[in-house]
Structure 1
Amino acid sequence: MNSESKRGIKIELADASHLTAFKSYVDECVTDGIVLYEFIFNNHATYLNKRIAYARGEQLPKGWTPISTYFCIENDIILGSLRVRQGDSDYINNVIGHVGYETRPSARGQGVAQLMLSYIQNTVLTDAVIITCAPSNLASRKVIEKCGGEFLNQFYSKEEALQVLRYRLSPA
């Protein structure tokens, strides 16, 4: 899947050709404190290949559903990453949601997250999904709401010691 915007930004399903751009993306995210990538420890190719396999339903940790990863790319630089989880579980429905994303720290405030989420709504989603964010993440809340996310409730996960805002996000 590929989408091209007026700016030359494209959204692509993650594949091995993105490795060089992925290394740079991860390194900047880790430097900024995004914990999702902290455990990669320079094993960028292994992590990326695992994410590609997850989209095919392969190599999934026990209890996980398939996850497709998309990159928002401009001039061979990954500006953001978005994951779409297929299927349901209590953990997906209540804590992490079906959609998760982050924006490269140096690309924040440029509409990258909204572009990625709108793309997913227009091309990937066939049914409404759950999307969550931390109550303190005002930027993410605004993105979800601009894309038509319907606030459902606030949820506290005792297992994760984590509070999230839950939204329903429908296809466009």
Structure 2
Amino acid sequence: MKKEHCVLILICCFLMAACGRLEDIPEDLSAFPETERKETAETPAGPQFETLTVADDPITAEFSLTTRQEPAAFLYVAVEEDCTTTVNCTYASQDQPVTVCLAGGESWELQGASEEAYGAIWSNWPVTLRQGENVFCITGGGSFCRMRLELLDAVGVSYAGAFPEGTELQPLEGM
């Protein structure tokens, strides 16, 4: 008799747990906007920054991401007139090459670098910023990359940020 009661109580507990879980699933899935489902499905195809921080004095972009074949913009710099500046850069790319470029302009192929190189080895090169907005991008072959890029002596900068000038950011939901 005791064994039967234990089995009956155990079955009731499982049934109540299953019923409680069913309440979490909405009956009408059309309540979710189509755009949310579409964005979620397309997210893996685009650049996925794990971190992205932009600061000034000097202008600095520090980020980590999994590189893709298509360019991922990480730094927007607007200048009042053409100027030449020096890029100072350290990175780790799982020993895979990456390319840093200015959208519509110059590009620089960087050799693969290990995690030990980050912060210990710095590369630098001159770059010409054109009047208006200049967009720095990165591409690669799917490896994880961590980078810190600095513009050391940029003059006439009217804007530097992780987004295009004038972009209004939307607050995160649930925050």
Question: What TM-score do you get using the length of structure 2 for normalisation?
Answer: 0.28
Question: What TM-score do you get using the length of structure 1 for normalisation?
Answer: 0.28
The structure in which a higher percent of residues are strand is 2
